[in-house]
Chains A and B, each alone.
Chain A
Amino acid sequence: MSEPDDCLERTYRSLAREEPPASLDARVLAAARRAVARPSLARRWGVPVSLAALLVLAIGVTLEMQHEERGVESSTPEEPAASATRAAPEPQSAPLNAPAAHEAPATRELAKPFAGAPAAEPSRSNLAPQATRVQPAPMAPPPAAERRFAGPAASMAKRSAAGASADAMTRSPSPVDELEKIAKLRESGRDAEADRALDEFRKRFPDYRIDEATWERVKPR
C-alpha cells in the first residue's frame, strides 16, 4: 500500500516509539498468569472424587435393592394371594426368569441409567401399571452447528416461541441472543443489570461487532 522508503514512511519511523508503562505490563501479565493458574489439589480433585463417590453410592443402593427384592421373590410361592395372581393368564407378562421382572418399579427407576434396561415393561403383579408407562423423552436441543449459524430472524422467531425460555437454559446463547437480552433489560429500565451484561458480553465475544442499530438499544444510558 506504500513505498517502503518514502518520506512519509521515514518520518513516521522517526516518531517516538512509545511503549506501555511497566506498571501496565505488570498488571496485564499478572492477570494472564492468574487466569491460567492451576487450582489447588482439593479444587482440582474435588469434583471427580465427588462424582465417583456418588456413582459408587448409586450402584451400591441399586444392588442392595435388587438383593432384597430377590429375597422377597423367593418367599412368594408360599403366599396364596400371590399364587392366585400368578394363576391368572396374562399374555404380556415377561418371563419369570427375566431379571427386570423381579424389580419393583422404584428399583427399576434407579437401575435404568446403569443397567440400560428397557423403559417399559408389563407389570406381572398389576401393581400400579401406569408407573411403568414410557415417559416421553425431553426434546433434545438443536445441534450446535444449527444454533451457531441460525440467522437473527431465526433467533427472533425462536425467542418468541412458547418454549423459548426453557430452550435458552439448555444452550449457550448466541451473541445476537445476548444482545437482545441486554436490549430488553434497557427497555425495562434495569440499567445496572444491562451494564453488567454488556460488560460480560464484551468479555465473552470481544471481537463481535455490534451494529449501530443494536448499539442504540444496548448502549449504556
Chain B
Amino acid sequence: MEPADEELMLSYARGEARAFEALYTRHKGALYRFVLRSTKTAGEAEELAQEIWMRVIGARASYEPRAKFTTWLFSIAHNRLVDHWRAKGLALVSLDDGGEDDDPPAEPAAGPEAEPERALEAAQVARRLAEAIAALPFAQREAFLLHREGGLTAAEIARATGTNEEAAKSRVRYAMKKLREAIGDE
C-alpha cells in the first residue's frame, strides 16, 4: 500500500527528498491543470505552479497534517492565485449569481462515439466546455476545478478557499449549471 500524502510530506520535512518526488508526481498534473485553467496562458501557469510548489517546499518544516494534504496544497494554490489576480488589479467577487434552483437531473450516459460525426461533435462539445470554464466567474471556476482536479469535497473547498461549506456547494452547483448549459446538457 502506498503511503498517504500526509506521511510523504512529513517524511520530506524530515529530509527525505524521495518522499517529495512521490508527492510531486502524484499531484503535479492536477495542480498544473487547476492553475492553467485559472490563468489561461501556459507561461503564467508554469510560473505560478512553480511558485506554489516552492511554497510547499519552503513550508515543509511547519507542515502539520491538520487536513488532507490536497486541501493544504490547493489552499496555497488559491492564495497564490488570489495574489496573482490582486496584483493585476482584477476583482475577485462576482460569485454565486443565478437562481437557487437545483441542478437538473443527470442525463443517462450516452453510448460510445463510434461514428466520425459523433467524434467531431464530441470534440466541438469539449471545446465549448473549455470556453465555458474559462468564462466562469473566478470563484465558481475555482470551486469547480478544485472539485474536478483536486478531488476536494465541498467542505474541503470551503477550507481551501476560506469560505463556508454552503457557499462552496453553491459555487460548484452554479458552475456546473452554466457548464451544462454550454454543452447542451440541460
Contact = CB atoms under 8 A, between A and B. Distances in A.
A220 to B, nearest CB: 6
Interface string B69-89: 000100110011011001100
Contacts, number: 134
Nearest to B46: A24
A7 B24 contact: no
Interface stretch (A82-90, A155-163, A204-212): A204-212
Given A6-B106, A206-B59, A220-B87, A28 B24 contact: yes
Nearest to B62: A204
Contact of B28 (A8, A10, A19, A31): A19
A32 B12 contact: yes
Contacts of B183: 7-8, 11
A187 interface: no
Nearest to B92: A212
Nearest to A208: B79
A213 to B, nearest CB: 13
Contacts of B24: 25, 28-29, 32
Interface in A2-32: 2-3, 5-8, 10-12, 14-15, 17-21, 24-25, 27-29, 31-32
A153 interface: no
Interface in B153-171: 153-154, 162, 169
B136 interface: no
A43 interface: no
Interface magnitude class on chain A:
35 or more
Contacts of A44: none
Contact of A24 (B50, B109, B179): B50
A8 B179 contact: yes
A161 B50 CA distance: 41
- Considering residues A7, A27, A29, A205, which has the most beta carbons from chain B within 10 angstroms of its beta carbon? A7
Given A20-B46, A203-B54, A220-B87, 8 more contacts: A19-B28, A28-B28, A28-B53, A36-B20, A204-B59, A204-B62, A209-B82, A219-B86
